[in-house]
Amino acid sequence: MEGDLADPLSIVGGEHSGDLLSVGDSSILVGDKDELKEYLISRPSRLERFFFDIEEELKLYPRKKACDLEDLIYTIISRKQQWLREFPPLLFGEKSLYRKGIKLIERKDYPAAQEVLKSYLDQYKNSPLSRPVKMFYSVSCFLNSILEEALSTIMEILESEEDEISKIARFFVCNMGLYESGFKLLYNGPDYSADLFRILRADSRRVRKVSSDQIVVEEGRKCGSAIFLLRGEMILLKRRGDEDSVLFSLRSPNSIGEVQLLSKSKWDATVIAKGKSEYILVDRNRLVQNLINKSPQDGFKMVEYILGYMRQTGAY
């Protein structure tokens, strides 16, 4: 359609998702990411239209890209022989522990699997095979409701070179019931400017100050506002079984909830503001007003963040 951006996911993916065919007497403006950014920032009305298109796509996205976690775990387990060849063990005893740990996952004895795979990592942490073992260990921790350990192990995987294991690890995080929170952990962002936080703070009547730890939003509640942290720290918790696990913390200036707000979904984690923190809740209309109209460079960052989320959660 006239005025639309073709193939917006190419902004964050680096590759086109298909062929583009012009029909009849058409004019097409072509540019790289930086040129597009400059074009949209200088024309907030175009940026706003682009944002609305992405927002509509995001509302449909969870239904279009839903991932079956059991299928994902099956996919990970199906790589066991391939990874054994790609990351050959160096010492006697490695292979037996590797196979035993995976077999226990297949038998759904997750505590035993976690114990065996942890034993492997304690003994053979410098072996090439330790890389896929970390992936299986994080799966066993997740299935055993120990999310903090699962996430910290995945972050260790991501410290090394980019390969199939790191790609699967990223996808796993974004599909273990975390969604935006998982994406935030992996990629941080959006790296909003200090000017935006000054704009938000100027509306002093809306700034909330907490003297002690306070729940801002609870997991499972519908998201009606994004949270912008102006000062202090926020902790994200995830319920797994009967317990809450600490996922990670965010320090100011920061934000969480843009994706959940615009997709009209529920919070995927509980957010707690630590004592002496200050934050502001920003609904959808104020988000557009502040990030598109008042600070369009930050509006582009938000759109880029949302596109990155859409690409990552449907990437594998």
What secondary structure does DSSP assign to 180-203, as a single string? HHHHHHHH------HHHHHHHHH-
| pLDDT of 106 | 96
Domains of the chain listed by start with CATH number: 10-64 (no CATH), 69-173 (1.25.40.10), 187-298 (2.60.120.10)
| pLDDT of 316 | 45
Q: Mapping DSSP to helix (H, G, I), strand (E, B) and coil, where does residue 148 land?
A: helix
Using one digit for the tens of pLDDT, what is the confidence trace for 118-160?
999 999 999 999 999 999 999 999 999 888 899 999 999 999 8
Using one digit for the tens of pLDDT, what is the confidence trace for 214-256?
999 999 999 999 999 999 999 999 987 777 888 999 999 999 9
Q: Mapping DSSP to helix (H, G, I), strand (E, B) and coil, where does residue 282 land?
A: strand
d(CA 84, CA 132): 8
| pLDDT of 184 | 93
Angle at 197 between CA 192 and CA 203, to 5 degrees: 145
Across-strand partners of 228? 255, 280
Pairing of the two strands 270-273 and 233-240: antiparallel
Instruction: Report residue 1's pLDDT band, with 50, 70 and 90 as the boundaries.
Output: very low
Across-strand partners of 58? none
With tokens 């790296």, the residue in question is 191
pTM: 0.82
